[in-house]
Amino acid sequence: MRQRADIVVWAVALAMIAGCAPFRRARESEASPTQLTERRELSEQAQIAIDHKDLPQARVLLERLVSDNTRSAEAHMKMGRVLQLQGWLDGAADEYAKALVLDPDYVDALIGSGEILSQLGRHTEALKKFDQAIEIDPRKAAAHFAEGQCFEALGETSKALAAYFRALEVDGTSPETILRVAAIQLGRKQPDQALARLDQVLELAPDLAEAHHQRGLVYLALNRPLEAVTDLQAASTKLADRAEVFFHLAQAQEAAKNKTAALDAARTALRLKPGYAEASALSDRLLR
């Protein structure tokens, strides 16, 4: 079970970007004080835009920064991250590669490069990038998290769990990492363990919609439909384009004997995903 909310991607991406220095001074020894000041201001403005999820503005600022300072590995890495979040994978890969030419041990660029490879289905190559990043900095939680996601994509959940637990050794309060552990535990039919994890996630990040989605599934597995309805309704308000969320809500409403609400949720799932066989079957059953 691998549902992921956009917020998870954003949280990890922003943590990586925000954790970087404005730019690497070793590459700027020839810059004048005025140029250094201008570059710092551009970098700070770009970071503000990234924090506010204003990717177009961040990209404009970073293009100026990269153009003015082609030897900044930091600028290329940030540009790569923004392009990756925008879905421009080829451009992002190019920017990460430029950062790594300038600094072969740049961990964040290695992680970003590995993520691109994983998104392209080149998981074996991606794992090599993550292993390299971890060898350089074993305390980089984002590298272990990215490795865990890659193993999940390969269906190797035991290795994924091991990677996530290594990430938690570094950052034990990462909601995104705990969420992935819970999702795997739920997939392994360990709902009680998953529930404990998800309660922890929602204490740390009460608005994390995917955590409400996953906890709703746990409550369904535990035959607690009313609690499942509450969580899945909360999830559906923020994941309004996710057909499976409404299908699961329909299942919970049916289990709670709310036939009309169940039918509405099933129809929403079908509207979002025409031909959704499970939602269609549920809708037909509710109409009988």
Q: Which CATH class is domain 1-103?
A: mainly alpha
Predicted confidence (pLDDT) per residue in 199-227, tens digit: 999 999 999 999 999 999 999 999 999 99
pLDDT band, residue 28 (cuts 50/70/90): very low
What pLDDT is recorded for position 90?
Answer: 96
Q: What is the average pLDDT across 186-192?
A: 98
What pLDDT is recorded for position 30?
Answer: 65
Q: Is the pLDDT of residue 23 over 90?
A: no
Q: What is this structure's pTM?
A: 0.85
| Per-domain residue ranges of the chain | 1-103
**DSSP per-residue letters across the chain:** -----HHHHHHHHHHHHHTS-SS-GGG-TTS-HHHHHHHHHHHHHHHHHHHTT-HHHHHHHHHHHHHH-TT-HHHHHHHHHHHHHTT-HHHHHHHHHHHHHH-TT-HHHHHHHHHHHHHTT-HHHHHHHHHHHHHH-TT-HHHHHHHHHHHHHTT-HHHHHHHHHHHHHH-TT-HHHHHHHHHHHHHTT-HHHHHHHHHHHHHH-TT-HHHHHHHHHHHHHTT-HHHHHHHHHHHHHH-TT-HHHHHHHHHHHHHTT-HHHHHHHHHHHHHHSTT-HHHHHHHHHHH-
Predicted confidence (pLDDT) per residue in 223-258, tens digit: 999 999 999 999 999 999 999 999 999 999 999 999
What pLDDT is recorded for position 36?
Answer: 84
